[in-house]
Structure 1
Amino acid sequence: MDTARKEWMGLLARAPEGRIADLMGDAGLSAEFEWLRRPETGSVMIRGRAGGTGAAFNLGEMTVTRGSLRLPDGVVGHGYVQGRSKSAAEAAALADALLQTDRAADVERAVILPLRREETDRRATRARKAAATKVEFFTMVRGEN
């Protein structure tokens, strides 16, 4: 999988429930398709690393819904989303498939760019909230030393 596809798959997977379908609907982006794997819900193990560099450990499980579809021209799209929304998995799979066709520029403009902008805004807001609670510790030098 190329770097661009990895990026958009991650962005689609992290999108708020219903947001992809809303953006695609607003832009009139739709296509006929056949299911290769209808959306199904399961769980995946989330792994973490202490301090981001330590040994990997199992952090816990997360619910994920996935689905795969094929467009009439043979292009296959996959959708993996957090949670149990089958319609969100369908929208993500359709967006993935369309991003591999000549309609990629339209999907990029109508879906990917707004999702990227919204995610950047959410991260900045979260960082501002975290910074507001930051506590500065300092040590005072005592005279006996």
Structure 2
Amino acid sequence: MHKMENRKAWIGLLAKAPADRLAALWNKVVERPGFTYLRRPEIGGAMVRGRMGGTGAAFNLGEMTVTRCSVQINSGEVGHGYVQGRDMAKAETAALIDALMQTHAAEAIRDTILTPLQAEMETARTARAAKAAATKVDFFTMVRGED
């Protein structure tokens, strides 16, 4: 497990985190910053693109609902939160965490929120992979000796 050192990694983790678990970890943060909205949580859509086989020509797969929020905490840092679905509270929390990760509080936020989230999500991913592997069926063709 690598540390959450770059912004892209922690924004991605926050976007994928289960909303209830993110809220529970956020509630452990004692010193919450004052902030102003640069963009209040708002719901919109994003076009999802796909590729056949991962390498073919790109095509529009369809739209996905997303919620975004941008905040500026009182010390001046700006945070952004983008989450799938219609969860305004999660988008706001993600934006606040993003802003705090750019301050002196980054290590505490990493230890309190990001590291536990990452570990839990990796454990869940491993469990899903093991469950899927247990149901894997290998098909093969036997040569029957007939010409």
Normalising by structure 1, what TM-score?
0.92
Counterpart position of 2:18: 16
Do residues 47 (structure 1) and 42 (structure 2) align? no
Do residues 78 (structure 1) and 80 (structure 2) align? yes
Do residues 58 (structure 1) and 60 (structure 2) align? yes
Q: 1:113 aligns with which of 112, 115, 132?
A: 115
Normalising by structure 2, what TM-score?
0.91
Give the number of aligned pairs: 143
Deviations 1:59-92 (A, max 9, x none): 2221111000001121000011111111111100
CA apart distance, 1:114: 0.9
How do 1:119-130 and structure 2 match up within 5 A? 119-130=121-132
Percent identity of equivalent pairs = 57
CA apart distance, 1:29: 4.4
Q: Letter of the aligned partner of 1:75 in structure 2?
A: E
CA apart distance, 1:133: 2.2
Counterpart position of 2:136: 134
Q: Letter of the aligned partner of 2:107 in structure 1?
A: A
**Alpha-carbon distance in structure 1 between the residues aligned to 2:49 and 2:134:** 29
- CA separation of 1:126 and 1:29: change in aligned 2, threshold 3 A: farther
Unaligned 5+ runs, structure 2: none
**Alpha-carbon distance in structure 1 between the residues aligned to 2:69 and 2:86:** 12
Unaligned 5+ runs, structure 1: none
Q: Which moved more, 1:48-57 or 1:104-113?
A: 48-57
CA apart distance, 1:43: 1.2
Asked whether the 8 Å contact 1:12–1:92 carries over to 2, the reply is: yes
CA apart distance, 1:132: 2.1
Asked whether the 8 Å contact 1:80–1:92 carries over to 2, the reply is: yes
**Alpha-carbon distance in structure 2 between the residues aligned to 1:39 and 1:18:** 18
**Alpha-carbon distance in structure 1 between the residues aligned to 2:22 and 2:72:** 18
**Alpha-carbon distance in structure 2 between the residues aligned to 1:37 and 1:18:** 23
Q: Letter of the aligned partner of 1:139 in structure 2?
A: T
